[in-house]
Amino acid sequence: MASNSILTIAPYKHRKDLTRESVLSKYLIIGYIAAGTYGKVYKAKSKTELSSRDKEKFKSDNHLNKSIYPNNEIIHYTGISQSAIREMSICRELNHKNITKLIDIILENKSIYMIFEFFEHDLLQIIHFHSHPEINPIPESTIKSLIWQVLNGVTFLHKNWIFHRDLKPANIMVSSNGVVKIGDLGLARKFNNNLQSLYTGDKVVVTIWYRAPELLLGTRHYSPAIDLWAVGCILAELLLLRPIFKGEEAKLDLNNKKSIPFQKNQLQKIIEILGTPNINNWPALCNYPEYSSFQQVFLSSNSTVYPNNLLNWYNLIGGKNKQCLSLLKSLLEYDPLIRSTADDALVHPFFLELPKVNSNAFEGLSVKYPNRRIYTDDNDILSNGKLANNNPNAMNQMQNQKSNFNSQLFGNKRLNFNDTNQRKRQR
């Protein structure tokens, strides 16, 4: 029986490959949007559906082929990255108006293509629009709608035992009719019935400027409260039009990847505004793995003890609404046990007072935000497809275009996404 099974695998696989639809047969690739650690993002249009949902966002994840170099020994293997498996499995189960919808998954030419809904804007782009070339504050009613919708999406995730673990403006999409969609669930993970600590699988989560203090102090066990801290940082950024805690990330030592560096500068930025934490306002502070480093840097005899300056910060940026400040304080609590939950934040008095929360964040706005920039001169997704193979000069042409394109976009190994994303950090 075993030998018969082996003999039938190859013909079956061949027949399956012949019937499988290719990416280019189903979608017209319009252009290139951005790149990150886990894949590239393109804009595409469905060739087969004539519905209103005719524009998709492609995420190409070419993690099937890997090379690793332990002790200078090169080992090649084939497999799918853990992050890709997680994102696909989680996104296939999610269906909510404030979460980006996964439409299709295609496996072709040793690459995985995940097709999502396309949205014209993201919060980073909107923040940049209001801060360049001149400061033009985002109206309070717009901020209220944006944050409420973010919290609504986060509530859905948490009720289904999922936390996002990388909430930031660049990952919050907004449609042309003002509907918020939380995207990029590459670091998302289910947190019920874990056999190991979450730290075991992912030692570093959340982009540094939005990383909760318990993560900065090296916690091995954390809760969905880390997402609420990130939402608080996003709310502050919508008010300030730049990150509230803009620290410098201490880089990982490539020779010792098991040792995570103490993020002194990022904690300093937080402490300068929220004050120096202590066991009175954070009883579990002394239990964190990095407490000794924290104590040495921030609690030594020659260290400055900072008071809580959040109220002064809020007044300085022109904040007037006391309920907005109250919400911000509840989200930026040091102690994750008393930090507001997504459920509680949804019914905070800030959202209950007039003007009421609008389901369209752009309602009443006199400005029109520019659409996401699409680069049409770099469709290297075609280099693995039939169009490139049919034209002997196509590959060279695309490679030349890509070289010029990357030299413009990837200065200092960082992507200038939509000409606005100089702040977007790779994970």
What confidence tens digit (pLDDT) does each residue in 306-338 have? 999 999 999 999 999 999 999 999 999 999 999
Q: Alpha-carbon distance 183 to 114, whole Å?
A: 12
Both 188 and 311 in one domain: the answer is yes
Q: State the DSSP string of 268-311.
A: HHHHHHH----TTT-TTGGGSTTHHHHHHHHSSTTS--PPP-HH
- 97 and 132 assigned to the same domain: no
CATH of the domain at 327: 1.10.510.10
Instruction: Examine the domain organization and report whether 193 and 281 are in the same domain.
Output: yes
User: Is residue 412 situated within a structural domain?
Assistant: yes
Q: Are residues 157 and 266 in the same domain?
A: yes
> 379 and 325: one domain?
no
Q: Which residue has the higher pLDDT, 379 or 367?
A: 367
Task: Give a yes or no: residue 8 inside a domain.
Answer: no
Buried b vs exposed e over 176-198: b needs ≥16 C-beta within 10 Å? Answer: eebbbbbbbbbbbbebeeeeeeb
- The helix or strand, by DSSP H or E, that contains position 102, with its residue range, turns out to be strand 102-108
319, burial (CB in 10 Å: exposed 0-12, middle 13-18, buried 19+): middle
Q: What is the pLDDT of residue 408?
A: 33
Residue 14 counted as domain residue = no
Tell me the three-class secondary structure of 206-230, residue by residue: CCHHHCCHHHHCCCCCCCCHHHHHH
Which pair of structure tokens corresponds to residue 337? 């046990």
What pLDDT digit, counting tens, does each position of 133-182 carry?
A: 999 999 999 999 999 999 999 999 999 999 999 999 999 999 999 999 99
Domain boundary among 317, 352, 387: 352
- 370 occurs within a structural domain: no
Residue 262 has pLDDT above 80, yes or no: yes
If asked whether residues 104 and 137 sit together in one domain, one would say no
335 located within any domain: yes
User: Is residue 365 one of the residues assigned to a domain?
Assistant: no
* Active-site residue flag, 419: no
d(CA 4, CA 6) in angstroms, rounded, equals 5
Average model confidence (pLDDT) across the chain: 80
Bridge partners for 35 per DSSP: 40
Cβ atoms of residues 210 and 234 within 8 Å = yes
Q: Are residues 284 and 393 in the same domain?
A: no
| Residue 256 pLDDT exceeds 90 | no
Question: Stretch 204-210: mean pLDDT, rounded?
Answer: 85
Taking alpha carbons only, the member of 86, 96, 57, 89 closest to residue 180 is 96
Does residue 36 form part of some domain? Answer: yes
Q: Give yes or no for a contact between 210 and 167, defined as CB atoms under 8 angstroms apart.
A: yes
More confident site: 183 or 2: 183
Structure tokens at 22: 């290719």
168 & 263 share domain: yes
Task: Please report the sign of the dihedral spanned by the C-alpha atoms of residue 392, residue 393, residue 398, residue 400.
Answer: positive
Single out the residue of 416, 412, 162, 199 nearest to residue 290, CA to CA: 199
Q: Minimal CA–CA distance to 94: which of 36, 144, 157, 16?
A: 157
Asked whether residue 34 falls in the same domain as residue 103, the answer is: yes
Q: How many domains does the chain have?
A: 2
What is the span of the domain harbouring residue 328? 121-352
Domain identity same for 107 and 236 = no
Question: Which one from 61, 166, 184, 378 is the annotated catalytic residue?
Answer: 166
* pLDDT tens-digit series, residues 377-392: 755 665 444 434 334 4
**What is the Cα–Cα distance from 28 to 26, expressed in whole angstroms?**
7
166: in domain = yes
Q: What stretch of H or E contains 43? A: strand 39-46
Which CATH number is 50's domain given?
3.30.200.20
CB of 181 closer than 8 Å to CB of 117: yes
117, 53 in Cβ contact below 8 A? yes
pLDDT digits (tens, 9 = 90+) for 78-133: 567 777 788 888 999 999 999 999 998 888 877 788 889 999 999 999 999 999 99
With CA atoms as reference, report the closest residue to 351 among 362, 338, 342, 339.
342
Q: Are residues 312 and 419 in the same domain?
A: no
- Cβ proximity of 178 and 239 under 8 Å: no
The pLDDT value given to residue 416: 32
Domain boundary, last residue among 290, 320, 352: 352
E strands of 152-239, at which residues?
Answer: 162-163, 172-174, 180-182, 189-190
Q: Looking at the structure, do residues 382 and 328 belong to the same domain, yes or no? A: no
pTM for this entry? 0.81
